[in-house]
Amino acid sequence: MLRKSPAAAGPRAPFPGAGPHVCFLALASAVVGVACSQASTNQTTAPVDLGMTPALTAYYNSEELTLYEVQKAVQLPVKQPSADDLANLGATPANTGYPRAPWLLASDESLEVHYIISNLDAQDHTVYLLIDPWNEFVRWDPGVTVVDDETAAPNYGYDLPFLVKAMSRVQGTITQDDMQEIAIKLASVENLLGSAQTMAAEASAADGGMNDSGFDPTGTANNIFNPQNRSNGGDPLYTPWIPPVVAGLTGFDLGLRTTESATVAIEVTIDVQDLSGKNKFIPVDSTQATIGPPPTVLSPPGAVF
């Protein structure tokens, strides 16, 4: 049976600070970056570093699956809206799952995430770069789905695998288009999991009944978040859940995952552009209040952590 390791027991730490499976590693020799802060309309964030060592206890462990995972919250410099700002947003858009109209739209921002993943071990590792997105309403926390005593798998966030050779690094960019796609994925899953169809399926499962429709909210969420599926691809399990209004990303949980002990690290910087024309972002070195972490954690039905 899949179980959490003793070191990972208890709820996940939702935001910055010490948590049961959050690990920080200063590896200046492994990941080096330069960041600068500019005007609020066009800026690059300070570097964010994250790593794991062989001392890390497995996050999940069973006879069939072992996962080592670390995460760190990354908050984007989105301005905290005033009461007047919120009052002027207008009616809550239909078919979105949002409790109100979004302050920040996906069209208000351009984001690019530049990453360097370093492997300090004398053996190759497959390393997953994890982006679990936030908007102003929800934070995506995918967890793991346990099918039976022998079968379990991580649910999708935006998960990208890399084979990182021994004593080497890989680097790249999650492009503006990809970050827009991540915002659409989160908005679509938020719409899906708030739907009457999902609630009926969950109620049926809670009563021990059969879901006669065959609707699988967790499978649909995983299909939407699978990086191989795109919002413009006409996927019949994705397209119906794309809302007419897409909330922008206000942050994400940056993560690394392996299936074996490893000494690996990542550094990211983020290019942020405010496309709104309404000063919805603040300079990264400003003392002005940001929108902060979202109030609700959203996960697939039945996920375990």
Give the dihedral sign, CA 116/120/125/131: negative
18-62 confidence digits (pLDDT tens) = 333 444 344 433 433 344 445 678 999 999 999 999 999 998 888
Predicted confidence (pLDDT) per residue in 176-213, tens digit: 999 999 999 999 999 999 999 998 888 877 665 555 56
Question: 247: which residues sit within 8 A by CB, 6+ positions away?
Answer: 98, 102, 104, 105, 106, 135, 136, 137, 183, 186, 187
In the numeric block, the tokens 């990941």 are attached to 31
- Give the model confidence (pLDDT) of 96-140 as tens digits: 999 999 999 999 999 999 999 999 999 999 999 999 999 999 999
With H, G, I as helix, E, B as strand and everything else as coil, classify residue 6: helix
To the nearest 10°, report the CA torsion of 298, 193, 181, 118.
Answer: 40
For the whole model, what pTM was predicted? Answer: 0.86
